[in-house]
């Protein structure tokens, strides 16, 4: 069906990869090629990176991390545990290099990017527990990392946004590291797939209902999606109580099947007394920020950086 995309995105639509995760192995082989070719982000100031490996959850493999920090920093900085997108089945810290570098450089933060285990080989809760292990490790090593312990946040995009919401719930419920903020960019939150946007957008670029169905089936296991067996830590939209969570910044794209679950989650956070800023971007689609030449993309990225700066560098 036709969509009223932002005029600056239209010339690029044909270059956007026709992503299907029906053949997950083939999609993974093609992933770098599909999402490559876009201009590489050049930070305004040098950013240092280093790879570390930390102990995983009990009985699980170690978790690779990549730490980004402004090269010429002075004193301690806020920290962000960053969780990459990919529908729980794709993505990596390598594919999220630009986002993590941009946040470190423009926000002035130490970013800890997590190589969590992917489904279907490692279904829920494997990836989530890796992310939570990364959070607890980051908090425990805040001094060594140059992170202010009282300015630690979690954030991510798409599935990474959903995992970030789940990590915030776990931290609250397990008495884990206190979080000062959660960044939920176009988050994947609800396995029930029953919102108007999810029912309508079956043929949108990159992400559409057929991919959403497969994503949740891979993550939860076949036949679990939409049943009462689904944990709110897998699908945070199912959480009955959202009180006591950290302040949030949530984004939604107009022609994204995930649009309505993001907006509903934002509204529920507000109703639960959680300070929440929500942005809906007309004319955009899931993943359209890869088109960095568009003004709407620049505004979305600037809004994210500004929100993180306000949250992580609060004025007295």
CA distances from 309 to 61, 151, 163, 252 (A): 34, 11, 22, 20
Question: No. of H helices and E strands in the chain?
Answer: 9, 8
> Catalytic site residue 30?
no
- Peptide bond connecting 279 to the previous residue in cis, omega within 30 degrees of 0: no
Considering the candidates 130, 217, 256, 260, report the single residue annotated as catalytic. Answer: 256
Considering the candidates 96, 158, 197, 288, report the single residue annotated as catalytic. Answer: 158
* Cα(304)–Cα(82) distance, integer angstroms: 13
For 2, phi and psi rounded to 5 degrees?
Answer: -75, 145
> Catalytic site residue 295?
no
How large is the angle between the packed helices 126-140 and 159-173, nearest 10 degrees? 60
Contact between 66 and 98 under an 8 Å Cβ cutoff? The reply is no
Smallest CA-to-CA distance from 106 within 26, 42, 177 is with 42
Cβ contacts of residue 108 below 8 Å, gap of 6+? 70, 73, 77, 78, 309, 312, 313
CB atoms < 10 A from the CB of 276, how many? 21
Contact between 94 and 58 under an 8 Å Cβ cutoff? The reply is no
> Catalytic site residue 305?
no
Considering the candidates 6, 113, 191, 286, report the single residue annotated as catalytic. Answer: 286
Active site residues: 158, 256, 286
């Amino acid at each position: 069906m036709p969509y009223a995309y932002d005029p600056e995105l239209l010339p690029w639509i044909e270059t956007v990869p026709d992503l299907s995760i029906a053949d997950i192995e083939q999609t993974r082989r093609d992933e770098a090629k599909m999402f490559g070719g876009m201009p590489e982000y050049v930070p305004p100031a040098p950013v240092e990176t280093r790879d570390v490996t930390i102990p995983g959850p009990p009985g699980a493999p170690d978790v690779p991390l990549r730490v980004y920090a402004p090269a010429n920093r002075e004193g301690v900085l806020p920290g962000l545990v960053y969780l990459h997108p990919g529908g729980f089945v794709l993505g990596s810290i390598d594919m999220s290099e630009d986002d993590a570098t941009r946040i470190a450089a423009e926000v002035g933060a130490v970013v800890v990017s997590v190589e969590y285990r992917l489904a279907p080989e490692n279904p829920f809760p494997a990836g989530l527990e890796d992310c939570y292990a990364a959070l607890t490790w980051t908090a425990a090593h805040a001094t060594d990392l140059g992170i202010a312990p009282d300015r630690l946040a979690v954030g991510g995009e798409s599935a990474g946004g959903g995992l970030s919401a789940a990590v915030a719930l776990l931290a609250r419920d397990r008495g884990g590291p206190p979080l000062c903020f959660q960044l939920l960019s176009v988050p994947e939150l609800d396995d029930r797939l029953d919102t108007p946007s999810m029912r309508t957008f079956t043929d949108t670029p990159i992400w559409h209902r057929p991919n959403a169905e497969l994503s949740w089936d891979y993550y939860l296991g076949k036949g679990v999606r939409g049943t009462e067996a689904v944990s709110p830590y897998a699908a945070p939209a199912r959480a009955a109580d959202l009180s006591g969570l950290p302040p949030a910044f949530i984004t939604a794209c107009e022609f994204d099947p995930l649009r309505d679950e993001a907006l509903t989650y934002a509204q529920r956070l507000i109703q639960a007394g959680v300070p929440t800023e929500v942005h809906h971007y007309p004319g955009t689609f899931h993943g359209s920020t890869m088109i960095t030449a568009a003004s709407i993309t620049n505004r979305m990225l600037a809004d994210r950086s500004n929100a993180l700066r306000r949250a992580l560098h609060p004025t007295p």
